[in-house]
Amino acid sequence: IDSEINRALRHGSPMSLLMLDVDHFKRINDTWGHSAGDEVLKTIGKLLRESCRVYDIPGRYGGEEFCILLPETVPGNTTVVAERIRQRLESTKLACGDDSITVTASIGIAGMEAPSGGDILSPAALIDRADRALYSAKNRGRNRIEMWDAELLVAADGAISH
């Protein structure tokens, strides 16, 4: 993220970040075990790599969260990408032990337009914005995408469950 933010600043280009969290992942581990959960995460990682452009950077952020960095992408244009990923995940059968299951995900989006003095973000601030948008998606029913909005800063910082 550091190097992509620096590149965006150097070239005055936009960038976006998607933060994806698998909905109700604990149920998978509790029902089929952690090794099945690990296989589900690997399959999701592969699906994300296949859903990205060559220069996009998908990665596991932690637990059942993934980030996808989208260089040269205006934040408003990322909703199409995020929705495509969300729908693809929802319609894909994933091996889980001897069964196959479908999972859904909530996705938060944040980014910078062509950076100028007022909208330069640190990596931590960009991640925080995407994370707040993700929590908003979770709180609004899961299996959806939400864009970062400054109103999320003033939203209650109460308990937000993954």
pLDDT tens, residue by residue, 100-139 = 999 999 999 999 886 665 566 788 999 999 999 999 999 9
Q: Are 20 and 105 in contact (CB under 8 A)?
A: yes
The answer to whether 136 touches 148, Cβ cutoff 8 Å, is no
Supply the pLDDT for residue 161: 42
**pLDDT higher than threshold 50 for residue 33:** yes
d(CA 71, CA 106): 21
Contact 40, 28 (CB under 8 A): yes
pTM beyond cutoff 0.85? yes
**Averaged over 137-146, what is the pLDDT?**
96
**52: pLDDT confidence band, cut at 50, 70 and 90?**
very high
pLDDT for residue 152:
76
How many CB atoms sit inside 10 A of residue 146's CB? 23
Q: Which residues pair with 60 in a beta bridge?
A: 66
Residues 6+ apart with CB under 8 A from 130: 17, 18, 19, 67, 108, 109, 110, 148
What does the pLDDT read at residue 160?
44
CB 15 within 8 A of CB 5: yes
The string of pLDDT tens digits covering residues 8-24 is: 888 889 999 999 999 99
* pLDDT at res. 17: 96
| Residue among 64, 54, 52 at smallest CA distance from 20 | 64
Give bridge partners of residue 95 from the DSSP assignment.
Answer: 100
Over residues 148-156, mean pLDDT? 72
Distance CA(43)–CA(124), nearest Å, equals 27
Sequence-distant (6+) residues with CB within 8 A of 26 are: none
Question: What does the pLDDT average to over 26-50?
Answer: 94
Residue numbers annotated as active site: 64
Cα–Cα distance for residue pair 154/76, rounded to 1 Å:
21
pLDDT at 159: 42
pLDDT in tens, 59-99: 999 999 999 999 999 988 899 999 999 999 999 999 887 88
